Amino acid sequence: MQIDPKELPMPKLHDHLLSAVAPRPIAFVSTVDRDGNVNLSPFSFFNVFGSNPPIMIFSPARSGRTGATKNTHDNVKVVPECVVNIAHYDMLYQMNLAAGMYPKGMNEFEKSGLTAVPSAKVKPPRVGECYVSFECKVNQVIETGEAGGAGNLIICEVVMLHINDSVLDSEGSIDPFKMNYIARMGKQNWCRVGPENIFSVPSFKMGNELGMGFDHLPEGVRYSKYLSGNDLAQLAACDKIPTEKELFDTRDVEEIQVVVRNHGHDFISFEKEMHLLAKQEIEQSNLWLAWKILMIVEYTRESLTS
């Protein structure tokens, strides 16, 4: 399906955008108006965009129905300060209460039962129940349009961080296993990031180690019917391929010997079973053994065609 956004009704386009770009973190933002009235509201158009200086951007978009601006947008135009609080699952429904379309001047801290804690450097209070809060000065407001659904980018600089000690690990870093994150998806759907959803992926951003890449994978491995793109990428992240001499110690691996005994007479069947065995090792992060299994197949292929 190919869609020109200009040909879609705005509600449908909004639905596609929010359902595709997900999950989105939540900026639970507190502001004050000219008279000091406090406002608290969550926004899923949000992320961090720099660390030097530390910049966050969120967007209280105009109402899709009326085109009206939100109280948060109006407040930062007159008092250019805010606190970006990071909500978590144990306060999800209280945060959802604060999202109600209350009249201007209504205090959502009181409506949601959340605790307003005085900030150190800005006028709006922070949310006491949040594990992490960022006091911010608003640097710029970019209004992308005046029609319903138009964004209002609030570009703010962090001037003070508040981190609850309970979510720190032994090295003093925020532990994702303790944050109990929540994130917004499309329609009325949310997701919760628990321990079972968190995993690590090696990073090459430091430039000290680079994988060989797909272009250096043996053809029989690269075009395997049994290995996924993710499987191949983990293999391609390695910096070398086992030599034939390095396969010597695989003679004691029982799983390999079982495949050899049962399928060694039929190369196609042998290749399939060995690739499936390698896939299991990849899933258990045993990449070097997976490479050895795959290269047994490649050296066998070479001997059959030479």
Q: Which amino acid is at 212?
A: M
Distance from first CA to last CA of the chain, Å, rounded?
48
- Quick one: residue 269, left, alpha or beta (phi over 0 = left, psi -120 to 50 = alpha)? alpha
Residues paired with residue 57 on neighbouring β-strands, in sequence order: 47, 155
203 in any annotated domain = no
The CA-based dihedral angle spanning residues 295, 301, 304, 306, taken in that order and rounded to the nearest 10 degrees: -90
pTM score of the predicted model: 0.85
208 in any annotated domain = no
> Which residues contact residue 119 at a Cβ distance below 8 angstroms, ignoring those fewer than 6 apart?
83, 125, 126, 135, 160
State the total domains in the chain. Answer: 2
205 in any annotated domain = no
* Boundary (domain end) residue, out of 147, 163, 197: 197
Backbone dihedral angles phi then psi of residue 234, each to the nearest 5 degrees: -70, -35
249 and 192: one domain? no
How many angstroms separate the CA atoms of 134 and 156, rounded? 10
Mean pLDDT per 10-residue section of the chain, whose length is 306 residues = 90 92 96 96 97 97 88 97 97 94 91 96 98 98 92 97 97 95 94 88 62 94 96 93 90 91 94 97 94 96 88
Residues paired with residue 50 on neighbouring β-strands, in sequence order: 55
* Boundary (domain end) residue, out of 169, 197, 225: 197
17 and 165: one domain? yes
188 and 251: one domain? no
The reported pLDDT for the residue numbered 97 is: 93
278 and 234: one domain? yes
The C-alpha angle 289, 294, 297, rounded to 5 degrees, equals 135
The reported pLDDT for the residue numbered 184 is: 95
79 and 125: one domain? yes
Which run of H or E residues covers position 48? Answer: strand 46-51
209 in any annotated domain = no
How many angstroms separate the CA atoms of 296 and 259, rounded? 11
Residue 101 sits in which domain range? 5-197
The reported pLDDT for the residue numbered 208 is: 53
191 and 230: one domain? no
98 in any annotated domain = yes
57 in any annotated domain = yes
The reported pLDDT for the residue numbered 65 is: 83
Q: Which two tokens stand for residue 285?
A: 């992060």
- The CATH number for 173's domain is 2.30.110.10
3-state secondary structure of 63: coil
25 and 169: one domain? yes
The reported pLDDT for the residue numbered 67 is: 86
